[in-house]
Structure 1
């Protein structure tokens, strides 16, 4: 998904749920890998669609497994919500391309939706982080880690997750508007807000990391260290992404170094969001206040 956005290939395949008139699963591999100048980015966009379908299948299997092997209502609810959002994510991804329910391939008759593209990018990372949150409920040391948390940890981890969510919205909004000449001025304002808000995320991540590293539990210590590593890496990648975007400004095509740097920044942001959800999982009680899932 990050590569598709970075390469500006989100609209490489004009129709959905088909791919150039073919059933998505039966789209010819020869056309997918062909270097057709009239169809740039098809490989990455179609691969993104196929990967999304695989995520949907895995999510369905996950729900079945959780329902049969875990009687906890809290865990079951999370699993079902994740699956529903995965389905919604696929629908938003398709409507982002077409703008309406149609099998039409003619781009002039379609209405690509930029707002859905932004929401699609945000929800995708939230789903990934939610998978991590769910996974934490099954870890053998879950209760031990939760019992080692102290008063205030839930509040701080919640603030971190909220800050990460808002920062994610700003980042997704900028990535999807930066190449639009009409929205160039708005994109600049979004970028400045995104940079300023990074300071808030940094503060919350450092505070949560310090609190967890000060606990006597090895799981919390590792989570705290992970938060610090990821937030520092994110700042470096963010700075690097800003530099390469400035250097590449005016180029007719997106240079490879910009695609790699911006995608790495996005991917590390997803890891940081997931780590924030992991920290939240340790501080969260489930099953109506019980400390066990």
Structure 2
């Protein structure tokens, strides 16, 4: 049988056009109902992690008698006496030393770690794995095992109780971490971009300064933030190599005593010491997240 042709006057019925959804509506994801338990668990986990900080902040506004009570007191008469005594006990001198040591050591770490990571990733040198293992092996030795020779050397160089010895030690403490982190960020830079820049006549220094560093800027910010936090919180070198010219972790030790009640005072000092780190992390949170996730999704 042959198919009969349609007469020109007969028109084939047009297929119905699909309905267009209103622009204002958005289709809800299929797993939207299952997302709220994850959100609830996330909030619960955040509250659990934040509870020690909230407890410390609560204790800092209490009197020593209320702070030393066995059961936590939520209803009390707040006081600012502990914060006033913190700033009157020489806080600013220790804070200035902490700022100098953290900032200067972090800048020096970035200046030294960036060329080293560039040489180990973009322009690999011979025996790269051996060099990387040497860097990370310096973090494997316990800090207490090397404090005696460090103390002897610092004593002969007349560096005890100075900011310079803390700068040198914080530089050595954070440099291996920075080299490994920056190298992981540099390995995610596409090689085609570097080859195109080299074909255009750009040298290695120009490529690193104008192309590589702007691409890995979030990674550099996250590395700087972590190194600054580690330097700010370092206590072991400060307590063994310095006395009066020291940083804020050693300032907190002045209020630790077994004969008197210093619970609320220590909570106030810890709150003040933690504020700069918290503010810095909040300001740099976008760069920190971008840096830690750099190259995770291609």
Name the TM-score, length of structure 1 as normaliser: 0.29
Greater fraction of residues in helix: 1
Name the TM-score, length of structure 2 as normaliser: 0.29
Bigger Rg, which one? 2
Structure number with higher relative contact order (C-alpha < 8 Å, ≥ 6 residues apart): 2
